[in-house]
Structure 1
Amino acid sequence: MRRLVYYIATTLDGFIAGPDGADPTGPNGFWPIPEDYLRHIAAEYPETLPAPARAALSVTAEGTRFDTVLEGRRSYEIGLEAGITDAYPHLRHLVFSRTLAESPDPAVELVADDPVATVRRLKQEVGKDIWLIGGAELASALYSEIDQLILKVGPLTIGAGIPLFSHTAAFDPRSWELTDHTLLKSGAVFLTYARVTH
């Protein structure tokens, strides 16, 4: 069965974005993007690079991990504000929204249904794993369905912002097993955790 993987960049203090929710890697962002960090993503997770970055880096690799990306409306709108209607044309792209009336891009599927029911259907389909890109509210709604965490931990703290899971998440302690880790010279750490099921 396909897994739902929350693959996300986080600060040391557990934030995925600043308080305004803007792209932390954007022109006015605070997220450091050293060369070894980009190289590692291009080599190990090429399908998670948005199309403009893939073009700039001459990345053409299909990738072996994901064929589907799930995104909340607020995360999706960060790309829209930059003029990008589909940042991941090389993946099946689903955006969860109850307010968007129609998709700004014919390749982007709008989903107004329950995220959990949708993910359970997707897991039954044949294919690669499903990438949950965020944001925090969608991650909270899908908390019970996440099978793997891949955290790109940056060597910085920001004090306040949007956490990995929003305050809407239910209190539900879960155990995770560290299955892989990569430490880069620039200080970023990639941590892979599998959910421990009893």
Structure 2
Amino acid sequence: MMRELTYYVAVSIDGFIAGPGGEFDQFLFEGDHAADIARRYQGTAPTQLAERAGFPVDGGPFDTVLMGWNTYAVGLPDLPDPYQHLRQIVFTRGREAPAGSDGVEFTDRDPVEVVREVKAAEGRGIWLCGGGALAAVLRDEIDRLALKRNPVLFGAGIPLFEGRDYAPAAFRPTGITPYESGVVLAEYVRA
């Protein structure tokens, strides 16, 4: 059985994964949703932050995380090797690997080609962490969506999928979980 690629990400109700300046501080990180989602998607917090908070990092649904450079750079300079418990692949063109990033694979290869190779190898799920441009490139490779819809409007910013020049794709819901905090975890599988 081939491994699945899941685009697991926080998103505003108007479809943005970050605001116009790349900000995401309006997303809710605390509330009744936090522990449940952290349990379901164990291992998706940066290793050092998870350890400080007492969250386990092993045994989650993913063993590989994919990021574009801008998503990866959010943690710099403090977290140059953010998900030490996962295989980390960062797609970038012409960027230098920062000091302390020994556990991160940087590549300028075609993301679709890389994802197909990773899917064909043994292992658990693959997590697409972001961003919107990489998600658009990998759109046809995404098997599942796990969207943490936050009760905020950004109005502009980085969309869930950058660009709109692609054919429709159908997904069917596998679970919709609303929380008192206003966050809704919406999970889908490719139809």
Task: Tell whether the structures are fold-level matches, with TM greater than 0.5.
Answer: yes
Partner of 2:179: 184
TM-score by length of 1: 0.90
- The 5 A counterparts of 1:1-198 are 1-22=2-23, 24=24, 29-81=25-77, 83-102=78-97, 104=99, 105-167=101-163, 170-196=165-191
Query: What whole-Å deviation, never above 9, does each CA across 1:84-106 have from its counterpart, x for those lacking one?
Result: 10111110000001112335411
Rounded Cα–Cα distance in structure 1 between residues aligned with 2:49 and 2:176: 24
Asked if 1 retains the 8 angstrom alpha-carbon contact of 2:42 and 2:61, the reply is no
TM-score by length of 2: 0.93
Rounded Cα–Cα distance in structure 2 between residues aligned with 1:31 and 1:119: 28
Asked if 1 retains the 8 angstrom alpha-carbon contact of 2:97 and 2:106, the reply is yes
Rounded Cα–Cα distance in structure 2 between residues aligned with 1:127 and 1:156: 36
Q: For residue 66 of structure 2, what is the amino acid of its counterpart?
A: L
Q: Secondary structure at the match of 2:154?
A: coil
Rounded Cα–Cα distance in structure 1 between residues aligned with 2:180 and 2:126: 29
Asked if 2 retains the 8 angstrom alpha-carbon contact of 1:5 and 1:150, the reply is yes
Q: Secondary structure at the match of 1:80?
A: coil
Rounded Cα–Cα distance in structure 2 between residues aligned with 1:67 and 1:117: 18
Moved more, 13-22 or 61-70: 61-70
Q: For residue 135 of structure 2, what is the amino acid of its counterpart?
A: A
Instruction: List alignment gaps of at least 5 residues for structure 2.
Output: none
Q: CA deviation at 1:61?
A: 4.3
Asked if 1 retains the 8 angstrom alpha-carbon contact of 2:6 and 2:146, the reply is yes
Instruction: List alignment gaps of at least 5 residues for structure 1.
Output: none
Q: For residue 3 of structure 1, what is the amino acid of its counterpart?
A: E
Identity of aligned residues (%): 41
Rounded Cα–Cα distance in structure 2 between residues aligned with 1:139 and 1:75: 12
Rounded Cα–Cα distance in structure 2 between residues aligned with 1:51 and 1:60: 9
Runs of 4+ off more than 2 Å: 32-35, 101-104
Asked if 2 retains the 8 angstrom alpha-carbon contact of 1:41 and 1:49, the reply is no
**How many residues are paired up?**
189
Rounded Cα–Cα distance in structure 1 between residues aligned with 2:187 and 2:38: 17
Superposition CA RMSD, Å? 1.4
